[in-house]
Amino acid sequence: MYFAALLARTEDGWHASEPDLDNVETLADLSDLARAAGDEEETVLVFIEQEDAWFGVIRVDGEEDPRIYVSDAAAAARSSYGEILLTDEVLGRDPEDLDDLVDLDGTEDGETDDDEEAVAGSSDDHVPTGPLGETDLLVDLGMSTKELLALSGDGALTGEALGEIAEALGCADVLEAVR
């Protein structure tokens, strides 16, 4: 079960809504959904949480590229919405480097399909456990990197992480209204 919320920062304060994620298949789709929730240059945050396993915060400022933070990348990698957030950039991968390592048939250079160690596709082994992304994406809004990381580490996720983030940003009441 997922929880998701859009929080748009306006001149009048924060406004929250519950997004329909049914048609979201890519980070671009999610970014467009966030931009539609606010005015041109407003900051919009997307909160996503999956059953206390992981949470993600996506920050969209106008037409700039989205900034992403995920509390536990390995847990998010096992989730359809988490996979959307774990882009090559967030994972620190260069897509061109990956193309050099794996042939189109899924085997590493020099291997054949009969090889027992042929690459069978993506694996969670390449996704680190723990927090990943821009740990400072909320600093100018009122939450320090240290506070954000404290909500993410070793079993610290209690289901109230997004509420604590909203409290630090001064928008807990609007987030609670969409829960």
pLDDT tens digits, one per residue of 91-101:
877 655 544 44
Of residues 119 and 148, which shows the higher confidence score?
148
Q: Are 28 and 60 a contacting pair, CB within 8 Å?
A: no
pTM over 0.95: no
Mean pLDDT, rounded, for 160-164: 91
Question: Average pLDDT, stretch 161-176?
Answer: 95
Find the mean pLDDT for residues 103-119.
46
* Mean pLDDT over the full length of the chain: 82
Sheet of 132-133, strand order? 13-17, 2-10, 43-50, 54-61, 67-70, 132-133
What's the pLDDT at 87? 82
pLDDT at res. 176: 93
- List of residues 6+ apart from 60 with CB closer than 8 A: 31, 34, 35, 38, 43, 44, 45, 46, 66, 67
Q: What is the pLDDT of residue 40?
A: 78
Listed by start position, the domains of the chain span: 2-93+127-177
40-59 pLDDT per residue, tens? 789 999 999 988 789 999 99
